[in-house]
Amino acid sequence: MSATEGKTTRVFDKSKVTVIFVLGGPGAGKGTQCANLVNDFGFCHLSAGDLLRAEQNREGSEYGEMIRTYIKEGQIVPMEVTIKLLENAMKATVAESRSGEGWADGKGRFLIDGFPRKMDQAVKFDDEVCESSLVLFFTTTEEEMSKRLLKRGETSGREDDNEESIKKRFHVYKEQTMPVIEHYTKLHKVASIDATATIEEVHQKAKAVVEEVFSGQASGNVTA
Ligand code: UP5
Ligand code: MG
């Protein structure tokens, strides 16, 4: 897009790079399903949470302590930090792997997991980095998500997989991320997938939705 009518130039053009956002509550199965979709479609999978945790642990990072506090409290890290991490990771993939992971049919393909979880992030990313094509929205009950997270917490070592942090994460999700889903629903870009079933059943539904995107048949909001 050219820098006209007050709009900024995006870092990546949608015609060359497909971005699919992956949203859903904490523990809905975003990371699990992204791994499956990487195998199916050769996406580059970028988890905003993983990128933040890596930055938190990077020696010399000026943001490390700030990120640790936000994650433990279930709060959303200021968007400038997260968007920069995502943009850098996308640039590295595009520069390095034009024939490898994250690249197919002459185009880049990215699954951006756990982002955008707040309206300001959604608007900034779409306007300045790359316009997203679809939101895969995994839904299930809070009870199920909580059960999954507490089980994972037995071995994950994640500082936010404990009852207190999980409660805060659910609260922030409802208050700040649900408006993002409503925003993309109005833009007819949301595929809602019931993620209560087994991992493989959920995978098959997600695969079918993504197939439609790449075959050019995707049409508005869908529920699977
Ligand atoms: N599991 C998965 N699917 C299952 C199924 N169908 N049946 C039975 N079990 C299933 O799965 C969680 C667990 O459930 C696993 O043990 C899995 O085997 C099992 P997973 O795939 O990991 O779920 P996911 O949705 O990825 O859960 P996650 O905990 O990663 O979600 P969050 O959104 O809470 O975490 P994220 O890493 O994205 O963010 C963490 C924090 O980072 C945020 O709270 C926030 O503080 C910060 N953040 C920002 O500030 N900004 C951002 O943009 C992003 C993150
Ligand atoms: Mg995850």
DSSP 63-110: THHHHHHHHHTTPPPPHHHHHHHHHHHHHHHHHH-TTSTTEETTEEEE
Q: How far apart are CA 17 and CA 33, in angstroms?
A: 21
Helix (H) or strand (E) holding 205: helix 199-214
pLDDT band at 99 (very low <50, low <70, confident <90, very high): low
The whole-number average pLDDT for the span 133-161 is 96
If you ran DSSP here, which 8-state letter would residue 187 be given? T
pLDDT recorded at residue 1: 44
**Cα 127 to middle of ligand 2, angstroms:** 25
Helix (H) or strand (E) holding 190: strand 190-194
**Cα 23 to middle of ligand 1, angstroms:** 9
pLDDT of 4 > 70? The answer is no
Query: CB burial class (10 A; 0-12, 13-18, 19+) of residue 212?
Result: middle
**Cα 197 to middle of ligand 1, angstroms:** 16
The whole-number average pLDDT for the span 74-90 is 97
The whole-number average pLDDT for the span 1-18 is 74
pLDDT recorded at residue 100: 62
pLDDT band at 222 (very low <50, low <70, confident <90, very high): confident
The whole-number average pLDDT for the span 182-197 is 97
**Contacts for 88 with CB less than 8 Å, ≥ 6 apart:** none
| Among protein residues, the one whose CA lies closest to atom 16 of ligand 1 | 152
Q: Domains in the chain: how many in total? A: 1
Q: How far apart are CA 13 and CA 145, in angstroms?
A: 35
pLDDT of 104 > 80? The answer is no
The finding on whether 202 has its CB within 6 A of some atom of ligand 1 is yes
Q: How far apart are CA 103 and CA 68, in angstroms?
A: 32
pLDDT of 3 > 50? The answer is no
**Cα 30 to middle of ligand 1, angstroms:** 6
Q: Work out the mean pLDDT of the chain and round it to a whole number.
A: 92
For 15, the 3-state DSSP assignment is coil
Q: How far is CA 123 from CA 1, 18, 23, 117, in A?
A: 16, 17, 15, 11
Pairing state between β 103-104 and 222-223: unpaired
pLDDT band at 219 (very low <50, low <70, confident <90, very high): low
Residues 200-215 pLDDT 10s: 999 999 999 999 888 8
CATH number of the domain to which 25 belongs: 3.40.50.300
**Inter-residue contact 172 to 71 (CB < 8 Å):** no
Helix (H) or strand (E) holding 137: strand 134-139
**Inter-residue contact 110 to 102 (CB < 8 Å):** yes
pLDDT recorded at residue 98: 61
Mark the residues whose beta carbon lies below 5 A from ion ligand 2.
30-31
**Ligand 1 pocket test: which of 21, 22, 30, 32 has the largest number of ligand atoms within 8 Å of its C-beta?**
32
Q: Could you tell me the residue range of the domain that residue 202 belongs to?
A: 3-223
